[in-house]
Structure 1
Amino acid sequence: MKRGFGTRGNRLRKTSVRLLRSSALLFLAGVLALVGALNLGERQVGWDPALAAAGAPGSGNGPDDLVRAGVVEVIDGDTFVVAFAGTPSARARLVGVDAPESVHPTRGVEPYGLAAAAFLADLLRPGIELRLEFDVEVADQNGRLLVYAYLPDGRMVNEVLLEAGYAQIYTFPPNVRYVERFRAAQRAGREQGRGLWAIPAEGDGEGPGPRVVIASVDLEAEQVEIWNGTARALEMTGWRLISVQGGQEYEFPEGFVLGPGEAVVVTSGSAFQHQPPATLGWTRRSVWANRGDPAELVDPSGRVEAAFP
């Protein structure tokens, strides 16, 4: 015989359901008001794909009818506050990128976190006018605007961070408009050894940043890029890549070696491809949860060497 909650328990449960429904309705109302304020139905939101594809990394000239907004303050390496459409203060999150944490309540300050925040603050000084572009979704579940932000000189801030080595690619479908462009920008930053991609010299130990990095996670494409940021070849027998959300693990092949400054892409699902040393095939089944799935790289001793985001 099942034990019930009783009359009082039922009242509490119904109250909780009402509160959850009210919160959801308030969030939906906020997003709808935001869409109305932006007049998205009357605007050209997004660039012509041909123009975007032709643009050089970090540069471009978007249409004049993108949303104009003034910078209020920078929060961290990928989040800032803007004033626009009569709203004095709205948080905005850069789409498709993730910067190291500088003010996270539980993760603390990560390597290059303070430098990334300072770099963004230097780009986005209070009062500067930006143009904001939206992808499929206008805001996230926390009410933050999800934006591609353009400086007065036409450069896309998301892309500039990748080129400078102060952010990494992290895509959340369906907001994937510029993923290929972002790959090129991150590749350029890494090849130049900028920011978190700086390889420590022989004998420098850990250096200022992680030794082995999960360089990018493309949840929709089922591709995770691992980069060796050390000055030595890394023998990866016994290393594991873990999908935290689903608890799935991939163990690197015995004898696999990742050279200094080199990267390997671990593929799964429709992207499955096994052509070492450039790509490794995990499984033909989909692994990564599109709405968010942290990745961890664990060494043979069980130590988490890298995590993303």
Structure 2
Amino acid sequence: MIAGAAVLVVAVGAAGFVLLDRGPDETIATVTAVESGDTLRVRLDGQERVLHLTNLAAPEGDECLAPEATAQLAGYAGIDSELRLDVEGTPAAEGDLTLAAFLPDGRLLSEVMAADGLGYLVIEEGDREYEWVVRAAQEDARFNAAGLFSTEVDCTIPGQVFSVSDRVEAATLVLEEESGAELLAAQRAELDALIEEAHALVDLMGTEQGGAVWDVLRASDRIGYAAQAQTAVATLELARGEVELVLNQEPTAAETDARD
């Protein structure tokens, strides 16, 4: 902890905001670049250093929401902004740093990124002082369906599952025989495509995956999403069978001519 600094925790929902009062021996770093949603370059004691935010990982590279996470961190800690670092003693003279960084208003940067759903908890070896704060913020993001937990972002796991589920009801409204063979055939094709997508989702849930969208899921989340995808498959296949039945009852052109 920074010498001479006091920590005040103010509960907000499930998570708390850690507010750090200024102390006489605080360590100030100036942001020089934002590399990802959990990593900054800072100027500390006249040196350029890489700073990893404590207890936080964020999507990176071509992962889902990686650009959004980087942009969000830049919004909180842009170039030339100052951060207060929680440093025990003198920081190592070389190499990357993994430290708690606080915004000028006293909020823990790892916490606000986790609360936005654009970062998530990782357990650090040794000092685990801020782990509970980041964990609580992550649970807030889960409850609020924010960021990596969003059902409205196509690349998240909840987004992929709910995208299929939301289309099931409309796709399974079986057209009446009077709708004609052409419309029924189009509905069958739509159901076939959706069934294939739902099957792929079921298979995906059964495989070991890595990356941010998977790391934030609990075991119970995986089980629940897999069950939801399997239910979608069963519902869609039943609807397809009904469409096929109606199509088979459609009179052929020859039969129609014969009736006329």
Match of 2:142 in 1: 190
What is aligned with 1:78? 38
Asked if the contact 2:54–2:99 (Cα under 8 Å) also holds between the matched residues in 1, the reply is yes
Matching residue of 2:189: none
Aligned to 2:156: 210
Give 1:152 shift. 1.0
Does structure 2 retain, via aligned residues, the 8 Å contact 1:210–1:229? yes
Q: Equivalent residue of 2:79, what SS?
A: coil
- 1:175 is displaced (CA, Å) by 3.2
The structure where strand makes up a greater share of residues is 1
Superposed CA deviations along residues 175-194 of structure 1, whole A, max 9, x for unmatched, are 31111111110111121111
Q: CA RMSD in A?
A: 3.9
Shift of 1:133: 1.0
Larger Rg: 2
Per-residue CA deviation, residues 50-105 of structure 1 (Å, 9 max, x unaligned), is x4555653441234232111111111111111112222x11111110100013xxx
**CA-CA distance at 1:162 after TM superposition:** 0.2
**How many residue pairs are counted as aligned between the two chains?**
178
Unmatched runs of 5 consecutive residues or more in structure 1: 1-39, 103-108, 201-206, 213-227, 244-251, 263-309
Residue identity opposite 2:68 in structure 1: A
Q: What percent identity do the matched residue pairs reach? A: 24
1:204-233: CA deviations, max 9, x gaps?
xxx432316xxxxxxxxxxxxxxx97336x
Structure 1 residues 91, 196: closer, same or farther in 2, change over 3 A? same
1:91-150 CA distance string (max 9 Å, x none): 111110100013xxxxxx11001110111111111211110113699569x811111111
The aligned runs of 1:1-309 (5 Å cut-off) are: 44=3, 51=7, 56=12, 57-64=16-23, 65-87=25-47, 89-102=48-61, 109-134=62-87, 143-200=95-152, 207-211=153-157, 230-231=161-162, 239=206, 257-258=223-224
Where 1:258 maps in the other structure, the secondary structure is helix
Listed as ranges, the gaps of 5+ residues in structure 2 are 166-200, 211-218, 229-260
Quote the Cα distance in structure 1 between the aligned partners of 2:133 and 2:121.
Answer: 10
> Which residue identity is paired with 1:258?
G
Q: Which residue of 2 aligns with 1:273?
A: none
Question: Which one has the bigger helix percentage?
Answer: 2
Which of 1 and 2 has higher RCO (CA within 8 Å, sep 6+)? 2
